[in-house]
Amino acid sequence: MLDNRAWLREDVFSWTQLGQPWPRPGLIANIAMAGLFNAGGAPLLILGVVAVFVLTVLLLLRLTTASPAATFSFGLLAVLTMASAATPRPVVLQLPLLALTLTVLERERRHTSGTPMLWCLPILAIAWVNLHGSFVFLFVLIGSYGLGAIIDTYRSRTPTRSRILDQHQGPRAAWRLLVVGVLSMIGIVVNPFGAQMLVYPLETLATGFGAAYEIDEWRPVDFADPRYWPFLGILGLSAFALIRSRDRLRSVDPILLAVFGLLGLTAYRNGPVFAAIAFPIGASLLSGRPSIVGSEAVALANRSERAVEVTLLLVVAVSVAAIAWPAFTTAGNSRADAEWFGAHAIDAVAGGEYPQPIWNSYDQGTYLIWHGWPDVLVSMDSRSDLHGLRSSTGRLAVLGFRKESDRVREHIAEWNAERDAPARFAAQGIQTVLVERVSPLVEQLEDAGWHRVEEDERAVVLLPP
């Protein structure tokens, strides 16, 4: 896009989907990150990621009136959970966008007549769709606060409950949020692909079912995996805070924690999102302070408390960044590539030493694009989940047209030697296969006369007889 000064609207990376439409949110984020990389390489790009991460922590800190102990407990778990999203990908930008949205909605709730900040959300929607595809969370937050306002109104009318909202405030707030939600949906259309982005959340939802077979972050949380323990920790602490504060809960609190907690459990890529939501809400509840923003914030959190909280969490954020830094330096990247891909075999293919078309495994595709494109085109890569969403006629392959995961599942079946790969590859004219050594496909192809020409500790390259 930088070279051609034009939006990337179709696939130019794979021979299997070459020229197919490729509607995608977040193009501006990709351009910005590419600009940082071109200007200063990986170090400057990582500095940008760290800055976004620290900004998120600061925004979330401003939302809470919790005690230092509660803030540190939730903050530590939140930072460790959100760290998985602190990578040089547009996904990191969803964190400050979430924090900004939460800030606006909380201030709206604290003003009986509404706040002008609320009308910034449609502008935020325009920014969000052009920065990352998680813009659907904006509408989840708006809907949760609207529902919470209505429920709190009826709770306030019962004689056993203290008045949470004026009896007319909830419906008024819900109507304002509805109007803002509609305007924000109109704002989503302001992107290079227009109204196509309105169905992108459905495509993403469908993607998850197929991508879970291949991509770790789309899989449900594994309770035995230490990588997920910070998320499980903040989830459990949030549940404890809810139970402890059940008599003074705002209705929106359990709604938000339940919805985003479930999203995090079903697909871990949503774990950092839950952490960003749970940090200010859970810390305030644990402290016995149900309001997370408002005029009383200054009285409840004096400057010394706030200084301690900011210092502690900045130390944590910087520590996480320092740990992650070596993986993104040039030398660290090379080591990671060698460990993950097995650089010898894949470099031979990326260098154009073997004939095309190439059948490559899912994990190898991104590396091939990075090191071999445009001379080498891939068959499958990390964008395959998107292409799998559309049928040959271009129709959306959800809600009855066709299961979007067909293409991904077929690829997995070939990798596992559950299909007659030699016959399929012959019909497709496949000239080279790049696959992990542990794949059963290797033995199946060798039994059919294919022979190895390159291999290392991770991957093998095979040519047909």
Would you kindly state where each structural domain of the chain is located, as residue ranges? Answer: 27-325, 342-463
Cis peptide before 357 (omega within 30 of 0): yes
DSSP assigned state of 220: P
The more confident residue out of 95 and 393 is: 95
How large is the angle between the packed helices 252-266 and 271-286, nearest 10 degrees? 150
pLDDT of 453 over the 90 cut: yes
Phi and psi angles of residue 384, each rounded to the nearest 5 degrees, phi first: -65, -30
pLDDT of residue 391: 37
Q: What percent of the chain has pLDDT over 90?
A: 35
pLDDT of residue 289: 62
The more confident residue out of 316 and 422 is: 422
DSSP assigned state of 122: H
pLDDT of residue 296: 44
The more confident residue out of 93 and 88 is: 93
Confidence of residue 142 (pLDDT cuts 50, 70, 90): very high
The CA distance from 68 to 73, in Å, is: 8
- Among 70-84, 263-277, 286-300, which stretch is predicted with the lowest mean pLDDT? 286-300
Contacts for 322 with CB less than 8 Å, ≥ 6 apart = none
The beta-carbon contacts of 139-142 under 8 Å, at least 24 apart in sequence, are 139/181, 139/184, 139/185, 140/259, 140/260, 141/98, 141/101, 141/102, 141/105, 141/256, 142/105, 142/177, 142/180, 142/181, 142/184
pLDDT of 403 over the 50 cut: no
- Among 117-121, 185-189, 254-258, which stretch is predicted with the lowest mean pLDDT? 117-121
pLDDT (mean) for 402-416? 69
Q: Which of 142, 146, 139 is nearest to 170 (CA)?
A: 146
pLDDT (mean) for 270-288? 91
pLDDT of residue 217: 76
pLDDT (mean) for 387-396? 41
Confidence of residue 299 (pLDDT cuts 50, 70, 90): very low
Highest mean pLDDT among 249-253, 257-261, 286-290: 257-261
Q: How does the average pLDDT of the chain come out, rounded?
A: 80
Q: Give the CA-trace dihedral at 295, 257, 215, 125, to 10 degrees.
A: -40
Q: Is the pTM of this model over 0.85?
A: no
pLDDT of residue 165: 46
Q: Where are the alpha helices (DSSP H) in 291-351?
A: 297-300, 303-324, 330-341, 343-350
Highest mean pLDDT among 136-145, 169-178, 366-375: 136-145
pLDDT of residue 363: 78
The more confident residue out of 309 and 34 is: 34
The more confident residue out of 23 and 52 is: 52
Q: Which of 173, 174, 199 is nearest to 185 (CA)?
A: 199
> What is the DSSP pairing of strand 432-436 with strand 451-455?
unpaired
pLDDT of 461 over the 90 cut: yes
pLDDT (mean) for 125-129? 96
